[in-house]
């Protein structure tokens, strides 16, 4: 490149320090790593705001908006007290100064701002609650329409979602349940052995796994695995404008997108919960046999007597409710995705976090409401 490199030299003068600039102060030369390193170091060491600093720009061969912006930023968005420059350079810097806005300083944080932030969060929560309520109402209307004309239902979509949500989730849920059963039985056995209550491991494992841990583990895994997939699928449809095409063609989104997923996950969740509970029970039985000597035959013979069947029905009912909530939340955040990839990632993350949180809250509420059932 024939243009000279930008330079900045600090020289002593009669009234203090003089910053003498030369060379080409253009975007191309300033973007070169070697030139930028030298100019940046010189700018940092230059006493830009000092009253006795004189800036001499007359030696600059070419000055564009990039160089003018760099100088204006170095001067702290104000003209130096002593400045020597050519008329064309002044016009360039004045144009940059005219269109340069200073970022406002954030207001000091106080109780009022905390109150406003809390109110903003409450309004966002109310907005999401209203959206979920509308989605639930539309789901109920779609169910009525399906019952009136079952042959026109989206059964192919229900079957596909049932396979992807249910069948493909069996290996991971079995593995997690099996390991949880082993860990739970091993930890409890060390405490029960101190009191000679080895046989009570059947009561603890049976009640904990069948009533609480089995359905909750299955719901958390499905929320992270299938809930995120539901949000991502519908979100991609928003990005690719498929949802807009459905609206133009008059295809109802609730009947074709929400209903199949809600039905599939409502059917799959009880089965997955039973599968996860069975896997956890097998792991607990093996650990109890190895650590405490409680044989599988004794375990299976005692389990029906110490755990009432109502606990199983309660677990199945909670699983259906968990599945419907996960499907609604996944569809809700998927339909709210904006046509860009950043919104898609944020929606998927919010869907998983919200689903898991709602599952835990509903499980805690059910534990309080049904505290006298099966205990």
104 belongs to a structural domain: no
Chain centroid to Cα 144, Å, comes to: 34
Rounded Cα distance between 267 and 161, Å, is 10
Does residue 224 contact residue 326 with C-beta atoms inside 8 Å?
A: no
89 belongs to a structural domain: yes
Tell me: do 219 and 339 sit in the same domain.
yes
120 belongs to a structural domain: no
Parent domain of 324? 127-369
112 belongs to a structural domain: no
Rounded Cα distance between 216 and 194, Å, is 30
117 belongs to a structural domain: no
Tell me: do 348 and 243 sit in the same domain.
yes
- What pLDDT does 360 receive? 92
Tell me: do 83 and 138 sit in the same domain.
no
Tell me: do 88 and 153 sit in the same domain.
no
Q: Is the dihedral of CA 211, 214, 217, 221 positive or negative?
A: negative
Tell me: do 189 and 258 sit in the same domain.
yes
- What pLDDT does 115 receive? 86
Element (H, E) at 188: helix 170-194
pTM (global) more than 0.85: no
Backbone angles phi, psi at 19, to 5 degrees: -100, 110
Domain count along the chain? 2
Mean pLDDT per 10-residue interval, the chain, length 375 residues: 77 76 84 81 63 77 85 81 83 85 72 85 89 90 89 87 89 92 85 76 85 90 90 88 86 87 92 92 87 82 84 90 92 88 87 92 89 73
Tell me: do 73 and 220 sit in the same domain.
no
Tell me: do 167 and 265 sit in the same domain.
yes
3-class secondary-structure state, position 22 = strand
Identify any residues that bridge with 24 across adjacent strands, giving them in sequence order: 62
**Phi-psi group of 11: left, alpha or beta (phi > 0 → left; psi -120 to 50 → alpha; rest → beta):** beta
Torsion of CA 124, 128, 129, 135, to 10 degrees: 160
Fill in the DSSP letter of residue 308: -
Chain centroid to Cα 350, Å, comes to: 4
Tell me: do 200 and 303 sit in the same domain.
yes
CATH number at residue 79: 3.30.750
Decide which of 79, 98, 117 is a domain's last residue. Answer: 98
Per-residue pLDDT tens for 160-211?
Answer: 888 988 888 899 999 999 999 898 888 888 777 777 777 778 888 888 888 8
107 belongs to a structural domain: no
The closest alpha carbon to 54, from 79, 24, 86, belongs to: 79
Enumerate residues 6+ apart whose C-beta is below 8 A from 136: 328
List, edge to edge, every strand of the sheet that includes 7-13. 7-13, 16-25, 53-63, 82-84
Tell me: do 273 and 149 sit in the same domain.
yes
Tell me: do 13 and 64 sit in the same domain.
yes
Rounded Cα distance between 223 and 9, Å, is 63
Tell me: do 49 and 191 sit in the same domain.
no
Cα angle: 235, vertex 238, 240; to 5 degrees: 110
279 belongs to a structural domain: yes
Tell me: do 185 and 261 sit in the same domain.
yes
142 belongs to a structural domain: yes
């Amino acid at each position: 490149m024939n243009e000279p490199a930008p330079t900045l030299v600090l020289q002593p003068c009669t009234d203090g320090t003089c910053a003498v600039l030369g060379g080409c102060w253009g975007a191309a030369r300033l973007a070169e790593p070697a030139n930028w390193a030298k100019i940046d170091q010189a700018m940092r060491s230059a006493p830009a705001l000092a009253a006795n600093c004189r800036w001499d720009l007359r030696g600059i061969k070419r000055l564009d908006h990039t160089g003018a912006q760099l100088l204006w930023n170095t001067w702290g968005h104000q003209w130096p007290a002593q400045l020597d420059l050519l008329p064309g350079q002044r016009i360039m810097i004045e144009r940059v100064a005219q269109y340069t806005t200073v970022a406002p300083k954030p207001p000091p944080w106080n109780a009022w701002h905390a109150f406003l932030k809390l109110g903003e969060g409450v309004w966002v929560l109310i907005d999401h609650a209203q959206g979920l309520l509308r989605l639930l109402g539309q789901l109920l209307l779609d169910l009525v329409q399906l019952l009136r004309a079952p042959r026109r239902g989206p059964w192919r979509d229900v079957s596909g979602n049932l396979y992807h949500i249910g069948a493909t989730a069996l290996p991971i849920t079995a593995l997690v349940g099996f390991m949880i059963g082993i860990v739970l039985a091993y930890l409890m056995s060390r405490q029960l052995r101190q009191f000679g209550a080895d046989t009570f491991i059947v009561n603890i494992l049976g009640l904990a796994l069948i009533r609480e841990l089995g359905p909750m583990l299955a719901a958390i895994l499905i929320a992270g695995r299938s809930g995120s997939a539901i949000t991502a699928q519908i979100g991609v449809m928003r990005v690719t404008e498929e949802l807009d095409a459905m609206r133009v063609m008059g295809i109802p989104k609730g009947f074709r997108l929400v209903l199949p997923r809600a039905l599939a996950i409502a059917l799959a969740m009880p089965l997955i919960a039973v599968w996860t509970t069975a896997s956890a029970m097998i792991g607990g039985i093996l650990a109890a046999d190895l650590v405490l000597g409680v044989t599988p035959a004794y375990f299976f013979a005692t389990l029906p007597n110490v755990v009432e069947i109502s606990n199983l029905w309660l677990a199945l009912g909670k699983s259906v409710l968990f599945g419907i909530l996960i499907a609604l939340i996944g569809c809700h955040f998927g339909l709210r995705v904006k046509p860009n990839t950043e919104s898609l990632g944020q929606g998927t993350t919010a869907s998983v976090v919200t689903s898991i949180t709602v599952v835990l809250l509903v499980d805690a509420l059910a534990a309080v409401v049904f505290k006298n059932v099966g205990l």
